[in-house]
Amino acid sequence: MLKKLEKEYLIRSYECDKNGALRLVTMMNIFQDMADNHAAAMGLGLDFCLARGLAWVGANYHIQIERLPQLHEKIIVRTWPAVEKKLGAVRDFAVFDENGKNIIKASSQWILIDFHKKRPVGLRDNLPEYQVIAERAVETDFPKIADIAGTDCQMNFNVRFDDIDFNNHVNNAVYPLWASEAVGTEFRSSHTPAEIEVMFKKECRLGEKVIVETELNGLISLHSVRSQTDNRELARLKITWKI
């Protein structure tokens, strides 16, 4: 019987921002760590996929944040595969504080691909033993994120060696980091994210230069992440902020 994976994390100083809150990039990395561990426990982990020329590619994230964990706080993270789709699956996450309160909810959508052909493949055709737990952390169908209507601010980033993962492209955790910084230092210093939606579109590789164009409407920011090499859109994000 498939069970949720549960793990305790202690928030350490180097995982926090200047205000002592968990960094967004660390939160995303925790989700990836949990997903990798659970897939391995299910017998469908990285080694299994690599041996068959398969890979999971992120398509979407939808994250709801009541509050970010703080320095030295212990949290409990749970994850489970929540929905099976023809070409992929949905994996959800829930983060709880020491009192058992659910402080972060997240849902992620993944596409199973043939690693060499870079093409989606059928889930059941390749992972016939795949199971799900029919429970959602976030009730979302990952709606399309609107393109920005105008640019209020923009920021450039260089893709660093440490931004690249074992699939040889920018890790999913980096995109929310870029978007959250692209609102400007003054806004970012006085606001925290309450909801983050991410739509991944194209791969980005080492050495590319990236521009993040941002439209800011009150407490909602829309972001278009593009490569300056050929102007292809790499991702879109929508962040709802709170003071």
Is the pLDDT reported for residue 134 higher than 90? yes
- Residue 108 CA to residue 138 CA, distance in Å, equals 9
Domains and CATH numbers, the chain: 5-126 (3.10.129.10), 153-242 (3.10.129.10)
Assign 166 a pLDDT band (cuts: 50, 70, 90).
confident
Helix (H, G, I), strand (E, B) or coil at 166: coil
Phi, psi angle pair for 166, to nearest 5°: -70, -10
Lowest mean pLDDT among 16-20, 41-45, 156-160: 41-45
The predicted model scores a pTM of 0.96
Q: How many CA atoms lie within 13 A of 150 on its CB side?
A: 3
CB 22 within 8 A of CB 68: yes
Q: What is the DSSP letter of 170?
A: B
Express each pLDDT in 25-83 by its tens digit.
Answer: 999 999 999 999 999 999 888 899 999 999 999 999 999 999 999 999 999 999 999 99
User: Of 118 and 4, which is predicted with more confidence?
Assistant: 4
CB 97 within 8 A of CB 69: yes
Count CB neighbours of 89 within 10 A. Answer: 20
Is the pLDDT reported for residue 129 higher than 90? no
CB 107 within 8 A of CB 90: yes
- Residue 226 CA to residue 153 CA, distance in Å, equals 14
- Residue 112 CA to residue 54 CA, distance in Å, equals 7
CB 94 within 8 A of CB 78: yes
Express each pLDDT in 188-242 by its tens digit.
Answer: 999 999 999 999 999 999 999 999 999 999 999 999 999 999 999 999 999 999 9
For the record, the structure tokens of 111 come out as: 């596409």
Count CB neighbours of 29 within 10 A. Answer: 16
- Residue 73 CA to residue 62 CA, distance in Å, equals 24
Is the pLDDT reported for residue 105 higher than 90? yes
Assign 1 a pLDDT band (cuts: 50, 70, 90).
confident
H helix count then E strand count, the chain? 5, 11
